[in-house]
Amino acid sequence: MKKILVTGGLGYIGSHTVVELQLAGFEVVIIDNLSNSSKDVLQGIERITGIMPVFEELDLRDKQATITFFQKYDDISGIIHFAASKAVGESVTNPLLYYENNLSTLITVLQQIQHKKDISFIFSSSCTVYGQAEMMPISENAPIQQAFSPYGNTKQIGEEILKDTAKIAKGLQVISLRYFNPIGAHPSTEIGELPDGVPQNLVPFITQTAIGLRNELSVFGNDYPTEDGTCIRDYIHVVDLAKAHVTALKRLVDNAYKTSFEVFNIGTGKGSSVLEVIESFERVSKQQLNYKIVGKREGDVISAYADTTKANTILGWKATSTLDEAMLSAWKWEQKIR
């Protein structure tokens, strides 16, 4: 059984990916410092898969502890690296935290594996690297734009670090997955998103408003040049996203296929407006959402949705859940945790 390290494996996307890895027969070791997650997630994972993953509580900024970890687990075949800080606004007010936590940790991990004979690495990147792309849907060939925030910059620099390292580390194969907008929760309601404080993202704000934690949702702008005036995004069910990691990993560990560095867009290929997301929520929850239109949010792109042809054809992966299914899972999760 191949042993896979999942850094940040107790977080939102990480925990769903651990489940899919275990279901696919991989043995999982999780590193997490619990800065944005809780140990209870381990029980949720075990209840779904029947397997308790190995967990090492460790801060990847602690270089010595990371070195010791890799000495203990010298039989790891692949790494899925989720551990990072992800609040865009906080990255503007505390850029050094982001450069340290998102980049120094990546460097430390790569230093431990760059001499290995055969190691696969999956990186959590983001569609934010494209900024406001000129053409929709966005293909992997779309130019990378100047990042809006230090957070976005860490994803761009992270990809550059990986590309340069993979060039010289002959045993290292890297796939960078550029996620569009992950939403929803595991259908079992055992794991899901646990936003810290007031959610900045649309879907947790919607579910928290519906459950009564927030008074109303503010819709940021309705005079964008889109059909209904609100921004368009590509919302992907987190379980579909988790499965994309397993498929990408299999491409590297199972197949003889050897690459040094590849990128794939991971989205549904379908754009939905903010009002369409609200409508979907109202449809599946059978209740009206309290919302009002307010001014635009600074830094928002008008539209971003993926051309997923590359992932569909080369990886053989495709998102299967609808927006309604993802919204229903988000709503069930919100009801369970309150």
Residues at the contact surface with ligand UD1, assessed by CB under 6 A: 88, 126, 128, 152, 181, 200-202, 205, 217-220, 231, 233, 274, 297, 299-300
Q: Which of 151, 179, 224, 305 is catalytic?
A: 151
Q: In angstroms, give the least distance from the CB of 56 to ligand UD1.
A: 26
Helices 12-23 and 238-253 pack at an angle, to 10 degrees, of 50
324 three-state secondary structure: helix
Record the tokens describing residue 105, joined without a space.
Answer: 């940790």
Give the integer Cα–Cα distance in Å for 174 and 120: 6
Nearer to ligand NAD, 22 or 101 (CB): 101
**What totals of helices (H) and strands (E) does the chain contain, helices first?**
12, 14
Compute how many other C-beta atoms are within 10 angstroms of the C-beta atom of residue 114.
15
Q: Is 151 a catalytic residue?
A: yes
Nearer to ligand NAD, 191 or 293 (CB): 191
Which range binds ligand NAD by CB under 6 A, 9-17, 67-75, 208-216, 318-326?
Answer: 9-17
Q: Which residues contact 266 (CB under 8 A, 6 or more apart)?
A: 177, 178, 179, 180, 236, 241, 244, 306, 308, 311, 317, 319
Check binding of 35 to ligand NAD (CB under 6 A): yes
Query: What is the DSSP secondary-structure string of 242-286?
Result: HHHHHHHHHHHHTSS---SEEEEEES-S--EEHHHHHHHHHHHHT
* Partner whose binding site includes residue 295, from ligand NAD, ligand UD1, none (CB under 5 to 8 Å by kind): none
- Which residues, numbered 100-119, are part of the site for ligand NAD (CB under 6 A)? 101, 105
- Which residues, numbered 150-189, are part of the site for ligand NAD (CB under 6 A)? 179, 182
* Partner whose binding site includes residue 59, from ligand UD1, ligand NAD, none (CB under 5 to 8 Å by kind): ligand NAD
Q: Which residues contact 63 (CB under 8 A, 6 or more apart)?
A: 108
Q: Which residue has its beta carbon closest to ligand NAD?
A: 11
Nearer to ligand UD1, 15 or 22 (CB): 15
Q: Which residues contact 36 (CB under 8 A, 6 or more apart)?
A: 11, 85, 86, 196
Nearer to ligand NAD, 101 or 207 (CB): 101
* Partner whose binding site includes residue 159, from ligand NAD, ligand UD1, none (CB under 5 to 8 Å by kind): none
Which range binds ligand NAD by CB under 6 A, 8-16, 131-139, 225-233, 281-289?
Answer: 8-16
Find, among 78, 99, 111, the residue nearest to 9 by Cα: 78
C-beta of residue 227 within 8 angstroms of C-beta of residue 273: yes
Check binding of 11 to ligand NAD (CB under 6 A): yes
Q: In angstroms, give the least distance from the CB of 238 to ligand NAD.
A: 8
Q: In angstroms, give the least distance from the CB of 296 to ligand UD1.
A: 8
Q: Given the rule CB under 6 A, which residues bind ligand NAD?
A: 8, 10-14, 31-37, 59-61, 82-84, 86, 101, 105, 124, 126, 179, 182
* Residues catalogued as catalytic: 151
